[in-house]
Structure 1
């Protein structure tokens, strides 16, 4: 297997394994011992898994609950929001272009770049596109999607909700830039090629889980970036529907081997 999952040069890839495993288990909570076992199947040592869970808990991305000698975890923060967006994803966008994007304009002094980066990261997870530095766009209003990060806004930072009115042609060009639709389409087609060329899945459930994660997890990360836009704003040959169908076929072939194993560990059988 390659190192697509546990690239030791990037903490982010190991972090992404945690909501991925929650999604496979289909449970809002997972026992620590089962979660570490599953992370081990994906190439993360037990010590590294313990450190990862502790770090995510300190950062507010996990909540731990102790029950006697055992600890259960549930997703929180950005991990929970990203997880919910994937789980509740409905790729059908509005039928017609309403004439304007919801926009967020911001100006943040360089000394508060940590807040700026956190706001931008939370906005992208919430479905915003980055049109240019200082301008985010979305099909829906701000609502409460950024309340958590905006509560930490420094006094010198400025954030202005707005509307950006554009013709259909200009809106399509803006969407292409904000969500990098050409680059995303190339990535989708690359995933399609890989899914079509995937070899037979191992019989061992732990090895099958690793093979499934290496193949599907990068696709899920990419589908999280796909905006929900009216058809006139999307490229005519957009491969999103084809990619999701390919993932469905691959999952249908692999999950009968993986799901009982994950369900057993998620249920805390080996606590």
Structure 2
């Protein structure tokens, strides 16, 4: 099973940790991780390199038990995983609760600041913004970008406002001109097409664990790129809701088998207080 694009080992690792470690106050044996990732087609060297890089980025911490090395979460990775879980299970893919508020962000950067301009645009895109005009970006709902702007060192060059559209404004047309709806729709349709047959078929337990890992990772990548535009201003056949139904149905079917496999394959120990 492959997604619309290659799933990076770190993305799969975060999903794995969110499933098996988050909220349980445990650490997982490196050999168990290597075993599961081998079943996902990721070699031992790549898995070990991913674990090492994540330790270096403060996304994992090591815990030695005898001759075995275990890995547990840090405050940073817990925050990342809680955010992902909320995006999947609470926020959802369809925005039915929009109150009409938009966030407008204007910026003016020196012409020579090409890297800063690129970084700002990239971060705004991941935060759900679209380019309304050159130097003026817009997002549905109230979006707090203060930390983002401060981290980039651009607070003096950015202005943020809350706004409502004027009466008679064609919001649907504005959305079509500002966001690449066709690309987002293709992602949802592609996801549903790849996973629908698992609504009826069942793999064996070991395959179910890997399939659920890929399912959640791919779904999170899609919904994190979705600005969650108000559904009343999207095309009537918008594919997010059917795709989300496929995700939840397949996840529910895979989970009993995946949990059976994890109980058999994973070596977990209680996490000790670091420091």
Task: Kindly state the Cα deviation for residue 57 of structure 1 after the two structures are TM-superposed.
Answer: 3.6
Greater C-alpha radius of gyration = 2
For the structure 1 residues 5 and 228, does the alpha-carbon distance in structure 2 shift closer, same or farther, using more than 3 Å as the test?
A: closer
Match of 1:86 in 2: 88
Q: Deviations over 1:70-122 (max 9, x none)?
A: 33134167676445433432456355652x51122233446655544444444
Q: Which moved more, 1:84-93 or 1:43-52?
A: 84-93
Match of 2:10 in 1: 15
For the structure 1 residues 130 and 59, does the alpha-carbon distance in structure 2 shift closer, same or farther, using more than 3 Å as the test?
A: farther
Task: Kindly state the Cα deviation for residue 146 of structure 1 after the two structures are TM-superposed.
Answer: 4.8
Once the two structures are superposed, the pairs formed by residues 211-250 of structure 1 within 5 Å of their partners are 211-215=211-215, 217-250=217-250
Match of 2:51 in 1: 53
Q: Deviations over 1:140-169 (max 9, x none)?
A: 3343x551x433334697121124543465
Match of 1:159 in 2: 158
- Partner-residue secondary structure (3-state), 1:202: coil
Give the alignment's TM-score, normalised by structure 1.
0.74
Whether 2:67 is the aligned partner of 1:66: answer no
Quick check: 1:31–1:72 contact (8 Å CA) kept in 2?
Answer: yes
For the structure 1 residues 247 and 81, does the alpha-carbon distance in structure 2 shift closer, same or farther, using more than 3 Å as the test?
A: closer
Q: Deviations over 1:210-254 (max 9, x none)?
A: 334445533332123333343432222222222111222222222
- Partner-residue secondary structure (3-state), 1:191: helix
Quick check: 1:115–1:153 contact (8 Å CA) kept in 2?
Answer: yes
Q: Deviations over 1:4-26 (max 9, x none)?
A: 4994xxxx622321222233336
With CA pairs under 8 Å and 6+ residues apart, which has the higher RCO, 1 or 2? Answer: 2
Q: Partners in 1 of 2:11 and 2:111 — Cα distance? A: 29
Once the two structures are superposed, the pairs formed by residues 76-155 of structure 1 within 5 Å of their partners are 81-91=83-93, 93=95, 95=97, 98=100, 100-109=101-110, 112-131=113-132, 134-143=135-144, 145-147=145-147, 149-154=148-153
Q: How many residues align?
A: 261
Whether 2:28 is the aligned partner of 1:31: answer yes
Structure 2: gaps (5+ residues): none
Q: Partners in 1 of 2:85 and 2:128 — Cα distance? A: 13
Q: Which moved more, 1:65-74 or 1:41-50?
A: 65-74
Coordinate RMSD, CA, aligned: 3.8
